[in-house]
Amino acid sequence: GSGSKVDDIKQLIKDGKVVDNNIISSLDDNTQVIFRNDTGNNAHQIKPKGYFDKVDHYNVEIQTKTKAGKWKSKWSFHIIFDEKGNIIDTFD
């Protein structure tokens, strides 16, 4: 068997390329997933969801390549957590 979905995600993270606060994993030539650590100095506001102050969070984003060869976000999932690491909100 192929293992669990969590194992698949762990493998994507392990195989990814670290670029600044991102881990970027290629799914195929036209699709990539980005695991972003938006904590500390990388934290920012998410005004549409009511976070008007900088908020520590993780972001998982799937991007596809356009015909022009640029990456475009297709799906972006945010995980908000408190100072103890407990998840307190999620949204896409």
Condensed to tens digits (0 to 9), the pLDDT of residues 1-45 reads 457 888 988 999 999 999 999 999 999 999 999 999 999 999 999
| Single-letter code of the amino acid located at 42 | N
What does pLDDT average to over the chain? Answer: 94
Look up the pTM and report it: 0.84
- 38-67 pLDDT, tens digit each: 999 999 999 999 999 999 999 999 999 999
The separation between the first and the last C-alpha atoms of the chain, rounded to the nearest angstrom, is 30
Q: What's the CA angle centered on 35, arms 69 and 67, to 5 degrees? A: 10
Q: Where are the domains of the chain?
A: 5-84
Question: Residue 2 has what pLDDT?
Answer: 57
Q: Where are the alpha helices (DSSP H) in the chain?
A: 5-15
